[in-house]
Amino acid sequence: MDFRLAEDQRALQDAARRFARGELETLARKQKARHEAVPDDCLWRYAEMDFLDISVATQYSDLGPGNLEALIVIEEFAQVSATVAFLVFESSAGPVRAIEHFAPESLRQRVIPRVCRGELAVAVAMSEPDAGSALTDLRTTARADGDSVLVRQRTESLVLRRQAFRRPRGLRAPVGCPPVPRASAQSTSRKPWPE
């Protein structure tokens, strides 16, 4: 069995590495020092580079399934910072994939394309007293009871933030996320890496 990356996967790895190291290192240091999340404009930049829809089904994105490709991008981003890799994980391997596989089609149509365009971010939030956000320490249980499910839980109040990112026309990306170079008239691919 050959475990080497294919030529297009190596090109993707190189594109992700150049983007992460060239455009995200300074931003990652600033965000870490300030204890802040990645700015919304970077989410749009990720989308413009097609880093948010690598593994999502083609009916919701332009690129289609590619779990290994998504993990290649996540790995390159995470070498710079887990903070800058988080949004790629959430859109390619995390909650958006749960929505893709388990949510009603109406919710899929409403959420997934917006995540791929960088207009919306999704995340999972779970917490219990004495567990914090350590999922392995959660004590909630569920068991089938006839036609229903009995859930035993200890919960704390949890506020979920619901926000769609709206980008005003003409807004430029912050330092660390420069504007996307426009494709040449000869280019027919939306991929950020060479064919």
Residue 190 lies in a domain: no
Rounded Cα–Cα distance for residues 189 and 31 (Å): 32
Tokens of 93: 């391997």
Which of 15-24, 51-60, 98-107 is modeled with the greatest confidence? 15-24
Residue 19 pLDDT grade (very low, low, confident, very high; cuts 50, 70, 90):
very high
pLDDT at 76: 95
In a shared domain, residues 46 and 88 = yes
Residues 58/62/66/68 CA torsion (nearest 10 deg): -160
In a shared domain, residues 97 and 25 = yes
148 CB neighbour count, 10 Å cutoff: 7
Residue 32 lies in a domain: yes
Q: How many structural domains comprise the chain? A: 2
In a shared domain, residues 67 and 78 = yes
pLDDT at 193: 44
Instruction: Quick: pLDDT tens for 119-171.
Output: 888 877 677 777 766 777 777 777 888 888 787 776 554 444 444 444 434 43
In a shared domain, residues 91 and 114 = yes
Residue 32 pLDDT grade (very low, low, confident, very high; cuts 50, 70, 90):
confident
Q: In which domain, by residue range, is 110 found?
A: 1-125+161-182
Residue 87's alpha-carbon distances to 45, 51, 74, 78, 185, in angstroms, are 11, 9, 9, 11, 30
Residue 193 lies in a domain: no
In a shared domain, residues 165 and 135 = no
Rounded Cα–Cα distance for residues 73 and 12 (Å): 7
Instruction: Quick: pLDDT tens for 56-96.
Output: 766 666 555 578 888 999 999 999 998 889 888 888 887 88
Residue 118 lies in a domain: yes
In a shared domain, residues 115 and 139 = no
In a shared domain, residues 154 and 91 = no
In a shared domain, residues 69 and 58 = yes
In a shared domain, residues 138 and 103 = no
